[in-house]
Structure 1
Amino acid sequence: MRLPLFLLLLAASPLVLAHDDRAADAGVDARAAIEDTNRSFEATFADADAEGMAGLYSRDGQVLPSGSDAISGHQAIAAYWRAAFDAGLEGVDLETLELDTHGDRATEVGRYTLHGAGEQVIDRGKYVIIWTRENGEWKLHRDIFNSNTPAAAPSGDAAMLTRRDLEWTQMIPGVAFAPAYGDWQSGRHGKFVRFDPGASAPMHTHSNPYNGIVLEGRLTNPYAGEVEPAEMEAGTHWYVPAAAEHSNTCVSEQPCLFYTYGDAAWDIALVEE
């Protein structure tokens, strides 16, 4: 017997409606769980708990900050947040602007405010998070964020500095630097740094952040507590936050040459063991 089409549609409609209701309920539950995790993120950040921060990410989670390579895995993520706390970050406020759920995945768009000591606003920016449900819990799977603060624009007349023009100053045995532009003792500047093969700078800190780019050789830049730092080859960019404890070693058979630059004075303070 062939039933009229409208009867078939009528019979199926309760099932469709039930499915839609369940999907809507699941979306509401996901939103509530993600909101709770965001509040946990803020509280864990305020406690400067680097290991706790790493635990909010999925097993193969990644932090994808602006101006940096991807930071993958709980150990590296914990080291990243530990360096941020050591640099003076004390709080973060998260505000969700959009949240779309689809099964065990969700995508969130929001904005953040970073605080230092005394609730001083350090930075404002935006973020996109891809969430995944892992063992029944919502975890940050991909954490992408960048600042609203525009990058400093270069200024001054056109100039060129050749390798022959560099004036090298020894810092410690096997390590030397040569200024490129600006005044490294007082403000915005760039400089070349050279390590002999096997040369190492012991654990130290800087008062201000800086960026670095490897030009020749292979270099490591482990932070305090980091056991197996990545080897950075030519073309690698890295960023060191202010007050972050780290060291450098040239691990290649050839000398290491890299370029560093920053918007504030550069100094170095050895960490007492």
Structure 2
Amino acid sequence: MFTKRNNIFSTIILFLLGSTMLFAQTEQQNSDVMSTIQQKYQEFGQYMQSGDTDGLVANLYTDDATIYPPNGGVVSTSKGISKFVSGMLSSGMVIQLVPKEVEMLGDAIYDYGVANVSNMEGEKLGIQRYMVIWKKVDGEWRIY
């Protein structure tokens, strides 16, 4: 009887330790993923500031990416996305993407956050929610 209780107790302890280690690994992985996405959004901002929309699309979007603007419609293809972003820049809009939740799911990352929209003078125009799916292409995370 005493041995049976010890075995049950040992099993419970091992389960709890394993769960704690798995949780710690997941937390570290999520932290690493968040850092990666924040770095990608810094690159995004640099491309936007320089007005290099072709570079933005070529380096941060997949070839088959699609975006869904807040006022409706669908924009796909590299050329279409570059044209859309150019239009935003020429209208004086500046977008800062701030991820709130980022999680890796298999070979993809989902990213939910807010987009702070302002004009070139820094006047806040609004806030939009966004969701991005990232895919790894040739070892680099890109917006899908």
Q: TM exceeds 0.5? A: yes
Structure 1 vs Structure 2 CA RMSD: 2.7
Structure-2 change in CA distance of 1:98 and 1:10 (3 Å): closer
Q: How does 1:183-198 map to 2 (within 5 A)?
A: none
1:66 maps onto 2:76 in alignment: no
Structure-2 change in CA distance of 1:133 and 1:22 (3 Å): farther
Query: Alpha-carbon deviations, 1:60-99, whole Å to 9, x = none?
Result: 211111333221121211111112222222x222222222
Structure-2 change in CA distance of 1:7 and 1:114 (3 Å): closer
Structure-2 change in CA distance of 1:120 and 1:18 (3 Å): closer
- Is residue 33–residue 103 contact of structure 2 (8 Å, CA) maintained in 1? no
1:83 maps onto 2:100 in alignment: no
Structure-2 change in CA distance of 1:94 and 1:15 (3 Å): same
Amino acid of the structure 2 residue aligned with 1:60: D
**Counterpart in 2 of 1:42?**
45
Whole-angstrom distance in 1 between the partners of 2:123 and 2:14: 61
Structure-2 change in CA distance of 1:82 and 1:11 (3 Å): same
Query: Alpha-carbon deviations, 1:153-184, whole Å to 9, x = none?
Result: xxxxxxxxxxxxxxxxxxxxxxxxxxxxxxxx
Name the structure with the higher helix share.
2
Whole-angstrom distance in 1 between the partners of 2:14 and 2:121: 63
Where relative contact order (Cα < 8 A, 6+ residues apart) is larger, the structure is 2
Partner of 1:59: helix, strand, or coil?
Answer: coil
Relative to the length of structure 2, the TM-score reads 0.75
- Is residue 53–residue 86 contact of structure 2 (8 Å, CA) maintained in 1? yes
- Is residue 46–residue 92 contact of structure 1 (8 Å, CA) maintained in 2? no
Partner of 1:119: helix, strand, or coil?
Answer: coil
- Is residue 66–residue 75 contact of structure 2 (8 Å, CA) maintained in 1? yes
Amino acid of the structure 2 residue aligned with 1:31: M
Partner of 1:58: helix, strand, or coil?
Answer: coil
1:108 maps onto 2:111 in alignment: yes
Identity among equivalent positions (%) equals 18
Report the alpha carbon displacement of residue 135 of structure 1 after superposing the two structures with TM: 2.8
- Unmatched runs of 5 consecutive residues or more in structure 2: 1-6
Whole-angstrom distance in 2 between the partners of 1:88 and 1:29: 33
Query: Alpha-carbon deviations, 1:125-172, whole Å to 9, x = none?
Result: 22122222333322222xxxxxxxxxxxxxxxxxxxxxxxxxxxxxxx
Greater radius of gyration (CA): 1
Q: How does 1:109-258 map to 2 (within 5 A)?
A: 109-141=112-144
Whole-angstrom distance in 1 between the partners of 2:40 and 2:90: 23
Name the structure with the higher strand share.
1
Amino acid of the structure 2 residue aligned with 1:38: Y
- Unmatched runs of 5 consecutive residues or more in structure 1: 142-273
Amino acid of the structure 2 residue aligned with 1:105: A
Report the alpha carbon displacement of residue 7 of structure 1 after superposing the two structures with TM: 6.3
